[in-house]
């Protein structure tokens, strides 16, 4: 923490020194994920082509980024020229007029190449408000060897019932192999994201048309009951404190039979750090009563705050970092498997990429079938977002409701108690915010 | 003897620092009280409106608030109990003339120098983790099911971690007090036929009462605001979040500045109530 502050301080000093020569300095807030770190390393290529622009990075961990960026834009502090934000923030902020519409990204940019589902998640009224840097959905990653040993075959699109049975069959608690690893850690972006997509597959929704929460309905009950039973029977101990990273570590060390999580995990479980790299298979996220939106949709994207005085330079950078040329640049320096996935259709037609990434087909299929507007589901939803509801209050509600789900998983509460409390929490918050009159 | 003149001069001279201190502590407090009366939600945008006391009524009637209050008090009480009892026992042990005393003392004090975040990470991943942790390893060694600490005993786990960090402090203070106990008094008691237990309860413990008071007062101040350990280990599930964590969650996770300010004011009031009773009950020891 202190070191990063020092570093940020040193960077801004450098930036000050640099402004004496250059015309524009862009300050970019970003998240410390692997793909973004790589982008920083390649920034020289951008500044070489644009000598009058300097780039100053502020890199943070996800939660911290969200806190910093939200306070910055809401109080109009104007500290950053480019923000790394997700599909949750973009529609909310665009509607508030906090983001610059991105219609000046240059003639070569090829907006139509962006995967439609991702584009729709980052657009309001047909206008793009943030350019996707990488996109993801969710899918099943499973151990082919364990499936073969148990005499099971993974269907292309399994149901939750199949997954539950299969998980029980391949679990060997004495040998420390757990049939299924799922997110249990509380948080709207942790267990909230996972359980909301699972609930979607049972036809559940967060709010009805009058913004009344629906946790007292049968759909959520079915979701949470299935989840808790399955995890108690076949999950690893301590599941209620496992998030993405914990599950990744468990899967890589060979302790999980199946893991349903973000598609970006695929390159890690088949990479060097994984003990089971050559045994990993992929399948679509399970269906419940429906297969619609049974997996999530997320894109880390670059947006420009409307308060920025350097919009033109910022647009140049955004266009560069999310262009096809950038993809080619990463491929030439680090290999095709390392290019940022999930944003452009052309990448999934590229033979080199398809060869280097065995998970590519599953990824694009999952992303393409997600629908942030939720139009395809049986009951209409008053909000956008697959694994979240894109309203400002959702972060708070999602976190508290996530804690109830985690409590149910840990056995501190029964499923019905957790859902009743979730209903109460959401109703209170929505009443306070004025949605429910 | 100060004259009226010098007293006035002295007042003038201390005035700048007093004023600075007032601004330093009062300005944020008033600002917090002001914010707590507004509907001020960072994400929902510009419309900051006056809402009166609704933030307070929401915060105080929140089911999470009661839980957090209970947890705060249990955490303070639990850690105090462990550190004082443990501190006395360790103090007695370290007071014995044994070989390598210096090294043992340093080892006992060492946890105090570990940062809270680091301590919490070590306990979470190396000690209490139900799959890879040391406790789980020993449990399996003797054929038992490993305990899933943070899921089944979240508050107890946090109490253990925090107590581990504060035990050295208590030990240090109590050991110093033990060392000031005169040997002659103990010898006299022994010659009168007093056993170890009577010496402990009638001589040592009364002698320690002031030191115990100091430990209680100082630890309580810090324990009311335990935060890092919760953030790192459980992320504040329903059974482990305390008042500071609830305020953090309202302010920086839900971006509800009004609600968080109301929570902050409530926390200040609660801390003052605790401080008031504490000083009245145990602070008396310091007067004599």
Chain A's closest residue to B44, CA to CA, is A392
Is the pLDDT assigned to residue A376 strictly greater than 70? Answer: no
Least confident of A15-29, A61-75, A411-425, B14-28: A15-29
In this predicted structure, the answer to whether residue A20 has a pLDDT above a threshold of 50 is: no
- The pLDDT tens digits of the residues spanning A205-221 come to 999 999 999 999 999 99
Assign A437 to helix, strand or coil: coil
Q: Provide, rounded to the nearest whole percent, the portion of chain A with pLDDT above 90.
A: 71
pLDDT band at B287 (very low <50, low <70, confident <90, very high): low
**Is B23 near chain A, with CB under 8 Å?**
no
pLDDT score of A139: 95
Please list every residue in chain B whose beta carbon sits closer than 8 Å to the beta carbon of residue A428. Answer: 58, 62
- Could you tell me which residue, A278 or A376, shows the higher pLDDT? A278
Q: How many angstroms separate the CA of residue A185 from the nearest CA in chain B?
A: 8
Measured CA to CA, the distance from residue B125 to residue B133 in angstroms comes to: 6
Which whole number is the average pLDDT over A380-402? 90
Query: From CA B209, how far away is CA B217, in angstroms rounded?
Result: 12
ipTM computed for the complex = 0.78
pLDDT over 90 percentage in chain B: 57
* pLDDT of A18 above 50: no
pLDDT score, position B286: 74
With an 8 Å Cβ cutoff, are A407 and B239 in contact? yes
Which whole number is the average pLDDT over B155-164? 95
Could you tell me the two tokens for A296? 């999530």
Around Cβ A415, how many Cβ atoms within 10 Å?
20
Alpha-helical regions (H) of A88-190 = 89-95, 116-121, 144-149, 160-170
| Contact between B237 and A407 using a beta-carbon 8 Å cutoff | yes
Contacts 24+ apart (CB under 8 A), B50-57: B51/B258, B54/A432, B55/B258, B55/B259, B55/B261, B55/B262, B56/B262, B56/B265, B56/B266
What is the pLDDT, as a whole number, of residue A426?
95
**By three-state DSSP, how is residue A84 classified?**
strand
pLDDT of residue A375: 61
Separation of alpha carbons B256 and B252, rounded Å: 8
> How do residues A123-137 score in pLDDT, each as one tens digit?
999 999 999 999 999
Q: Are A243 and A190 in contact (CB under 8 A)?
A: yes
Q: Pick the residue from chain B with its C-alpha nearest to A253.
A: B132
Q: What is the pLDDT of residue A1?
A: 41
Q: Is the pLDDT of residue A21 over 70?
A: no
Place of tokens 């893991």: A259
Measure B128 CA to nearest chain A CA, in Å.
10
pLDDT for position A10: 53
Q: Is the pLDDT of residue B284 over 80?
A: no
Burial class (CB in 10 A: 0-12, 13-18, 19+), A380: exposed
pLDDT over 50 (residue A185):
yes
Determine the residue among B151, B157, B229 to mutate to test chain A binding: the one whose Cβ has the most chain A Cβ atoms within 10 Å.
Answer: B151
pTM of the model: 0.84
Q: For an interface test with A, give the residue of B254, B256, B259 to mutate (most A CBs within 10 A).
A: B254
Q: Mind listing the pLDDT tens digit for each residue in A253-285?
A: 999 999 999 998 998 898 888 999 999 999 999
Confidence of residue B31 (pLDDT cuts 50, 70, 90): very high
Mean residue pLDDT of chain B comes to 90
Q: In angstroms, what CA-CA distances link B34 with B25, B65, B70, B185?
A: 15, 21, 27, 59
């Amino acid at each position: 923490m202190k070191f990063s502050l020092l570093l940020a301080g040193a960077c801004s000093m450098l930036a000050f020194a640099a402004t004496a020569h250059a015309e524009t300095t862009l300050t970019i807030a970003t998240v410390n994920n692997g793909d973004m770190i790589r982008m920083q390393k390649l920034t020289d290529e951008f500044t070489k082509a644009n000598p009058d622009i300097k780039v100053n990075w502020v890199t943070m961990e996800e939660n911290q980024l969200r806190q910093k960026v939200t306070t910055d834009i809401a109080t109009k502090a104007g500290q950053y020229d480019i923000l790394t934000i997700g599909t949750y923030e973009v529609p909310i902020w665009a509607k508030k007029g906090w983001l610059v519409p991105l219609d000046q990204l240059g003639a070569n940019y090829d907006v139509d190449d962006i995967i439609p589902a991702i584009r729709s998640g980052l657009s309001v009224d047909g206008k793009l408000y943030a350019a996707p840097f990488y996109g993801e959905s969710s899918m099943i990653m499973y151990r082919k060897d364990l499936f073969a040993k148990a005499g099971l075959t993974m269907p292309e699109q399994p149901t939750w019932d199949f997954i539950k049975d299969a998980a029980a069959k391949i679990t060997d608690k004495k040998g420390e192999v757990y049939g299924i690893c799922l997110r249990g850690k509380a948080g709207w972006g942790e267990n909230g994201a996972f359980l909301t997509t699972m609930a979607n597959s049972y036809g559940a929704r967060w709010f009805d048309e009058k913004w009344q929460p629906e946790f007292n309905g049968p759909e959520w009950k079915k979701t949470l009951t299935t989840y808790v039973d399955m995890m108690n029977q076949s999950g690893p101990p301590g599941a209620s404190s496992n998030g993405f990273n914990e599950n990744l570590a468990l899967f890589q060390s060979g302790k999980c039979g199946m893991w349903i999580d973000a598609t970006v995990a695929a390159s890690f479980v088949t990479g060097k750090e994984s003990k089971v790299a050559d045994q990993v298979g992929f399948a679509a996220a399970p269906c419940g009563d429906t297969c619609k939106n049974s997996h999530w949709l997320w894109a880390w994207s670059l947006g420009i705050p409307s308060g920025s005085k350097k919009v033109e330079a910022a647009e140049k950078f955004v266009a560069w970092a999310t262009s096809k040329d950038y993809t080619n640049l990463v491929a030439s320096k680090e290999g095709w498997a390392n290019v940022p996935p999930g944003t452009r259709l052309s990448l999934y037609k590229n033979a080199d990429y398809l060869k280097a990434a065995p998970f590519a087909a599953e990824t694009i299929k999952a992303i393409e079938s997600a629908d942030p507007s939720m139009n395809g589901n049986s009951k209409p939803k008053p909000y956008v977002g697959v694994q979240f509801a894109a309203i400002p209050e959702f972060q708070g509600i999602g976190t508290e409701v996530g804690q109830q789900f985690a409590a149910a998983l840990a056995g501190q509460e029964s499923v019905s108690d957790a859902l009743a409390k979730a209903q109460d929490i959401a109703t209170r918050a929505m009443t306070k915010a004025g949605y429910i009159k | 003897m100060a004259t009226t003149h010098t007293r006035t001069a002295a007042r003038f001279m201390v005035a700048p620092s007093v004023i600075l201190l007032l601004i330093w502590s009062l300005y944020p407090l008033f600002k917090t009280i002001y914010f707590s009366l507004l509907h001020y939600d960072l994400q929902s945008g510009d419309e900051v409106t006056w809402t009166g006391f609704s933030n307070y009524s929401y915060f105080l009637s929140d089911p999470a608030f009661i839980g957090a209050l209970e947890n705060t008090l249990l955490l303070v009480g639990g850690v105090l109990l462990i550190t004082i009892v443990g501190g006395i026992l360790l103090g007695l042990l370290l007071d014995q003339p044994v070989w390598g005393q210096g090294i043992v003392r340093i080892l006992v004090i060492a946890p105090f120098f570990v940062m809270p975040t680091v301590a919490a990470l070590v306990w979470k991943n190396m000690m209490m983790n139900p799959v890879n942790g040391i406790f789980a390893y020993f449990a399996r060694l003797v054929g038992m099911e490993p305990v899933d600490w943070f899921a089944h005993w979240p508050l107890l786990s946090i109490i253990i971690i925090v107590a581990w960090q504060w035990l050295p402090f208590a030990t240090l203070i109590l050991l110093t007090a033990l060392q000031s106990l005169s040997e002659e008094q103990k010898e006299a008691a022994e010659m009168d036929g007093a056993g170890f237990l009577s010496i402990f309860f009638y001589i040592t413990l009364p002698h320690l009462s002031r030191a115990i008071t100091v430990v209680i007062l100082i630890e309580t101040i810090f324990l009311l605001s335990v935060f890092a350990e919760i953030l790192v280990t459980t992320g504040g599930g329903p059974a482990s979040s305390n008042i500071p964590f609830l305020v953090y969650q309202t302010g920086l996770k839900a971006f509800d500045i009004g609600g968080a300010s109301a929570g902050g004011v409530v926390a200040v009031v609660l801390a003052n109530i605790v401080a008031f009773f504490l000083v009245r009950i145990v602070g008396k020891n310091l007067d004599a």
